[in-house]
Structure 1
């Protein structure tokens, strides 16, 4: 592994995603899930395209590369669609708990697809971070709400976790051939037409409707957060980590997402944290440190 501050870029992504569940859930009252996902990726892609044309104005890609971008765009589209639909159908506790399975799926895919190694140190770090994050989530949400959401919603969130792992792992070769910025940009751009096709189907089959009056200032602020911070910046930071670290190491930073969400709830909503947050947060941080300092790839 190369030691550089950019290796911690995925932690920035996890911080930006900390409030994603609450913001998405709240915005669904005005904009249905697939339509919101379309708006989100459109804004994210537009933001990334402006930046990528500034830094790589003359870059061209082969047909094979565009095929690669298309593959990870499909992973991304399925992940985002099932994440938003699953979020709409589940409770906050269920969403937070299922989110912490994503790094586990990513580590497994990294081993199976990329041939990455899992040392005892790495396995112990992932386990510590998983348990610590679960402790934080359990202390934040009422256990009686678990199981209250629709079973199909839970299944969708699991699928979202698996497909995000696929987006991470299958994106790694393109990132290392070109850059995190280009890979994040063009995969996001290719997602836009996929959601554009899905929006009319959602509006037709769910009888949902959306008018200009839905775009109030708070809703517009939420859209900017989702599209610019939660998509353009966060997806770039996530992929930026893959320029320096393997997929299994990058994945462990995602354990910070529910912990950041709990901290934001305390800071802005006055929600209590308790000793479970301190204990679980310490375990999560220790697990991330152990995995991020594992030197299994050095000399490779």
Structure 2
């Protein structure tokens, strides 16, 4: 594979991540019936971090030094905030609110990328983001009753907004780690760093609810939910998301997030027999145009990263 073809292929990795996240909210809601939200988030990240570590350990190479752990711990803090706010917010809101508020992540990422990394917000990028955002709104409006979007828990909405902002932080502040260590190691060690943080929050949640770990049901459904969230939505998706950052700016990677609700709706139609909304095709077309326009902007991507060739 030529370097240019490989670069474009890896730049599309975040789209695959969005596809894996498409079913995450359905699985999360299902899992909440069996496992409290923060505890489910902890199990998700613990499984995902373990899966990533097995890959890194199998490939060999030195462990991070004490100095190198510092940015990974900071990224682990972003992970902890994202998972905790996202899962509790998802439990407190409905599917329409979750889908709509989550797609604010690209907006936060573009703004942070410009403020922190000095990435340019060109007219093409702004126009593409706007088209993709409108397309996403059309898809969501076609899938849900507009009244259901306005209904729900105000605290849950605030937490989902916070989750969107903190994932943008994980994306933008992860760029230096990705460019230095490669996507696989950056995703692995930031996930590992978050495990004890989320573990402490999960222990506090169980104490507050008066539950012991032994009371968490180990049913086929709960195990399946944790495995999907851990292996697919965490290990694979976080690696693919960071893989895109090896080749394109954070604001460019962010636009692929708009595809998540469309993928979720398509999966619901294919696997659950749910009807697609009347605006799905129109919204999907607008989203595709916007993503295509932004993905063509490759300014600011490095020619080569330390682990890119190896991964």
Which band: TM-score by shorter chain? over 0.9
- Report deviation, 1:259: 0.3
Of 113, 124, 128, 2:127 maps to 124
Measured against aligned partners, the alpha-carbon deviations of 1:146-173 in whole angstroms (never above 9, x if no partner) come to 2322111000000000000000000000
Provide the C-alpha distance between the structure 2 equivalents of 1:199 and 1:298, rounded to a whole number of angstroms. 38
Provide the C-alpha distance between the structure 1 equivalents of 2:100 and 2:277, rounded to a whole number of angstroms. 18
Of 38, 41, 48, 2:42 maps to 38
Report the CA distance shift for 1:62/1:134 in structure 2 as closer, same or farther (over 3 A): same
Report the CA distance shift for 1:291/1:42 in structure 2 as closer, same or farther (over 3 A): same
- Report deviation, 1:64: 3.0
Tell me the TM-score normalised to structure 2 length.
0.92
Provide the C-alpha distance between the structure 1 equivalents of 2:259 and 2:216, rounded to a whole number of angstroms. 36
Where structure 2 has 5 or more consecutive residues not aligned to the other structure, the ranges are: 304-311
Q: Give 3-state SS (helix, strand or coil) of 2:139's partner.
A: helix
| Mapping 1:90-169, distance limit 5 Å | 90-169=93-172
Report the CA distance shift for 1:140/1:49 in structure 2 as closer, same or farther (over 3 A): same
Q: Give the equivalent residue in structure 1 for 2:227.
A: 224
Q: Give the equivalent residue in structure 1 for 2:24.
A: 20
Q: Give the equivalent residue in structure 1 for 2:278.
A: 275
Q: Give 3-state SS (helix, strand or coil) of 1:4's partner.
A: helix
Q: Give the equivalent residue in structure 2 for 1:193.
A: 196
Report the CA distance shift for 1:153/1:25 in structure 2 as closer, same or farther (over 3 A): same
Q: Give 3-state SS (helix, strand or coil) of 2:278's partner.
A: helix
- Length, aligned pairs only: 299
Residue 243 of structure 2 is aligned to residue 249 of structure 1: no
Q: Give the equivalent residue in structure 2 for 1:5.
A: 9
CA contact (8 A) 1:119 1:296 kept: no
- Report deviation, 1:74: 0.3
Q: Give 3-state SS (helix, strand or coil) of 2:173's partner.
A: helix
Residue 103 of structure 2 is aligned to residue 68 of structure 1: no
Where structure 1 has 5 or more consecutive residues not aligned to the other structure, the ranges are: none
Provide the C-alpha distance between the structure 2 equivalents of 1:113 and 1:106, rounded to a whole number of angstroms. 10
Q: Give the equivalent residue in structure 1 for 2:58.
A: 54
Q: Over aligned residues, Cα RMSD in angstroms?
A: 1.7
Q: Give 3-state SS (helix, strand or coil) of 2:83's partner.
A: helix
